[in-house]
Amino acid sequence: MVALVLAAGIAAPVLAQDVASIEPTAVVIAPPLTPLARIIKDGLSQAYYGATRDSQAYSEAQKLYFLYGERHFEPIWITTAANGAVTFSPSAEKIISLFKAAETEGLRPNDYLTPDIDLARARGGDPAALAALETAFSGSVLRYANHLHNGRIKPQSVSELLDIQPKPIDQAGLLERLAKSDDPAPILAELEPKHPEFLALKAALANFKAANTARPTPIGDGPVLRPGGEDPRVPLIRARLEVADTTSTLYDTDLVTAVETFQESLGLEVDGIIGPATIAAFNGGNATRREDIIANMERWRWMPSDLGQFHVFVNIPEFRLWIERDGKPEYTTRVVTGTVKNQTPIFSDNIRHIVVNPYWNVPSSIIKGEIAPAVLRNPGYTDSHNMDLLYNGSPVSPWQVDWSQVSTSYFPFKVRQRPGASNALGQIKFLFPNKHDVYLHDTPSKSLFARSARAFSHGCVRVENPMEFADALMANEANISRTSLEAMFGPNERWVNPEKQIPVHLAYFTLRVEPDGSIRSFGDVYGHNEKLIKAMGLASSTGVPQIIAEAENVPEELSP
Q: List the catalytic residues.
A: 441, 460
The three-state (H, E, C) secondary structure of 372-408, written as one string: HHHHHHCCCHHHHCCEEEEECCEEECHHHCCHHHCCC
C-alpha 375, offset from chain centre: 38
Contacts of 230 (CB under 8 A, 6+ apart): 249, 250, 251
- Burial (CB count <10 Å: 0-12, 13-18, 19+), residue 279: buried
Provide the pairing of β-strand 428-431 with 414-417.
unpaired
| Helix H or strand E encompassing 60 | helix 56-69
On whether the CB atoms of residues 304 and 505 are closer than 8 A, the answer is: yes
Residue 517 CB coordination number (10 Å): 9
CA distance from start to end of the chain: 58
- The CA distance from 461 to 513, in Å, is 23
Burial of residue 129 (CB within 10 Å: 0-12, 13-18, 19+) is: middle
Q: Where are the alpha helices (H) located in 191-289, listed in sequence order?
A: 196-206, 234-241, 253-265, 276-282
Measured between alpha carbons, how far is 206 from 195 in angstroms, rounded to an integer? 17
Dihedral of CA 183/304/470/264: which sign? negative
The dihedrals phi and psi of 38, each to the nearest 5 degrees, come to -65, -40
User: Please, how many CA atoms are within 13 Å of residue 203, restricted to the half-sphere of its CB?
Assistant: 10
**Helices 56-69 + 171-180 axis angle, to 10:** 60
DSSP secondary-structure letter at 370?
Answer: I
Distance CA 548, CA 443 (A): 20
Half-sphere exposure of 136 (CA within 13 A, CB side): 19
Residue 357, class by beta-carbon neighbours within 10 Å (0-12 exposed, 13-18 middle, 19+ buried)? Answer: buried
Given a contact cutoff of 8 angstroms between Cβ atoms, the answer to whether 508 and 528 are in contact is yes
- Distance in angstroms (rounded) separating the CA atoms of residues 535 and 530: 9
E strand residue ranges, 40-88:
78-80, 86-88
Residues with Cβ < 8 Å from 370, sequence gap 6 or more? 558
* Distance in angstroms (rounded) separating the CA atoms of residues 103 and 282: 27
